[in-house]
Amino acid sequence: MASRDSSRNLQQLQGILSVLPPFFFACVALWFFSFLVQHSASPRQHLESGYSGNRPSDRLGTNAWSLKRNSESYETESEDFGGLPNLSCDLSSGRWVRAKRRKPSYDDGCRDIFKGWNCLRNNKSNARDILTWVWKPWQCNLPKMNATLFLERFKNKRIGFVGDSLNRNMYASFVCSLKQASQNVRKWRPAGADKALTFLDYNLTVAYHRTNLLARYGEWEAKDDGGALEKLGFVKGYRVDVDVPQSTWAEAPLFHDVLVLNTGHWWWAPEKFDPEKSPMLFFKRGEPIIPVKSPEEGLDMVLKYMLTYIERRMSAQGFMFLRTQSPRHFEGADWNEGGTCHRRKPLEEKEAVSWFSLSKRPGPNAEMNQANLHLSKAIRGTSFELLNISFLSSLRADAHPSLSAGKLHEDCMHWCLPGVTDTWNDMLVVRLLQLQKVSASDVEDSGF
Ligand SMILES: *[C@@H]1O[C@H](CO)[C@@H](O)[C@H](O)[C@H]1NC(C)=O
Ligand SMILES: *[C@@H]1O[C@H](CO)[C@@H](O)[C@H](O)[C@H]1NC(C)=O
Ligand SMILES: *[C@@H]1O[C@H](CO)[C@@H](O)[C@H](O)[C@H]1NC(C)=O
Ligand SMILES: *[C@@H]1O[C@H](CO)[C@@H](O)[C@H](O)[C@H]1NC(C)=O
Ligand SMILES: *[C@@H]1O[C@H](CO)[C@@H](O)[C@H](O)[C@H]1NC(C)=O
Of the candidates 301, 238, 245, which has an alpha carbon nearest to the alpha carbon of residue 273?
Answer: 238
How high is the pLDDT of residue 439? 86
Other CB atoms within 10 Å distance of the CB of residue 66: 11
Residue 47 has pLDDT above 80, yes or no: no
Residue 227 has pLDDT above 70, yes or no: yes
Where does ligand 1 bind, in terms of residues with CB under 6 Å? Answer: 36-39, 146, 148-149, 152
Instruction: Tell me the pLDDT band of 407, cut-offs 50, 70 and 90.
Output: confident
* Ligand 2 midpoint to CA 84 (Å): 12
Give me the mean pLDDT over the 414-426 stretch. Answer: 98
Q: What is the mean pLDDT of the chain?
A: 83
How high is the pLDDT of residue 252? 98
How high is the pLDDT of residue 355? 87
Q: Is the CB of 48 under 6 A from ligand 2?
A: yes
Instruction: Tell me the pLDDT band of 446, cut-offs 50, 70 and 90.
Output: low
Q: Of the residues 357, 390, 394, 395, which should be mutated to test ligand 3's pocket, given the most ligand atoms within 8 Å of the CB?
A: 390
Residue 341 has pLDDT above 70, yes or no: yes
Task: Output DSSP code: residue 326.
Answer: P
* Ligand 2 midpoint to CA 246 (Å): 42
Give me the mean pLDDT over the 201-225 stretch. Answer: 97
Q: Is the CB of 49 under 6 A from ligand 2?
A: no
Instruction: Tell me the pLDDT band of 358, cut-offs 50, 70 and 90.
Output: confident
pLDDT in tens, 422-444: 999 999 999 999 999 888 887 66
Please name every residue paired with 133 in a beta bridge, in sequence order, or none if there are none: 98
Is residue 42 classed exposed, middle or buried when 0-12, 13-18 and 19+ CB atoms within 10 A define those classes? exposed
Q: Of the residues 123, 125, 402, 416, which should be mutated to test ligand 4's pocket, given the most ligand atoms within 8 Å of the CB?
A: 123
**Least trusted range by pLDDT, from 1-15, 110-124, 172-186, 341-355:** 1-15
How high is the pLDDT of residue 361? 65
Residue 22 has pLDDT above 70, yes or no: no
Residue 135 has pLDDT above 90, yes or no: yes
Residue 15 has pLDDT above 70, yes or no: no
Q: Where are the alpha helices (DSSP H) in 156-224?
A: 165-179
Atom number of ligand 1 nearest to Cα 146: 1
How high is the pLDDT of residue 92? 98
How high is the pLDDT of residue 364? 67
* Ligand 2 midpoint to CA 55 (Å): 16
* Ligand 1 midpoint to CA 38 (Å): 9
pLDDT in tens, 250-271: 999 999 999 999 999 999 877 7
How high is the pLDDT of residue 27? 29
Atom number of ligand 3 nearest to Cα 388: 1
How high is the pLDDT of residue 45? 25
Gap between the Cα atoms of 259 and 256, Å rounded: 7
Burial 296-314 (b: 16+ CB within 10 A, else e): eebbbbbbebbbebbeebb
Q: Of the residues 86, 87, 91, 437, which should be mutated to test ligand 2's pocket, given the most ligand atoms within 8 Å of the CB?
A: 86
pLDDT in tens, 49-97: 222 332 233 333 322 222 223 333 333 323 333 479 999 999 999 999 9
The verdict on pTM exceeding 0.75 is yes
Percentage of the chain beyond pLDDT 70 is 79
Q: Is the CB of 425 under 6 A from ligand 4?
A: no
Percentage of the chain beyond pLDDT 90 is 68
pLDDT in tens, 307-323: 999 999 999 999 999 99
Gap between the Cα atoms of 440 and 442, Å rounded: 5
How high is the pLDDT of residue 324? 98
Q: Is the CB of 54 under 6 A from ligand 3?
A: no
Domain layout of the chain by residue ranges: 94-446
Q: Is the CB of 71 under 6 A from ligand 5?
A: no
* Number of Cα atoms under 13 Å in the Cβ half of residue 39: 19
Higher pLDDT, 153 or 12: 153
Q: Whose CA is nearest to atom 8 of ligand 3?
A: 391
Atom number of ligand 1 nearest to Cα 33: 1
* Ligand 2 midpoint to CA 102 (Å): 27
Which CATH architecture best describes the domain 94-446? 3-Layer(aba) Sandwich (3.40)
Higher pLDDT, 240 or 10: 240
Gap between the Cα atoms of 34 and 90, Å rounded: 20
How high is the pLDDT of residue 335? 76
Gap between the Cα atoms of 386 and 62, Å rounded: 12
Residue 8 has pLDDT above 80, yes or no: no
Q: Of the residues 33, 146, 177, 201, which should be mutated to test ligand 1's pocket, given the most ligand atoms within 8 Å of the CB?
A: 146
Q: Is the CB of 278 under 6 A from ligand 3?
A: no
Residue 282 has pLDDT above 90, yes or no: yes
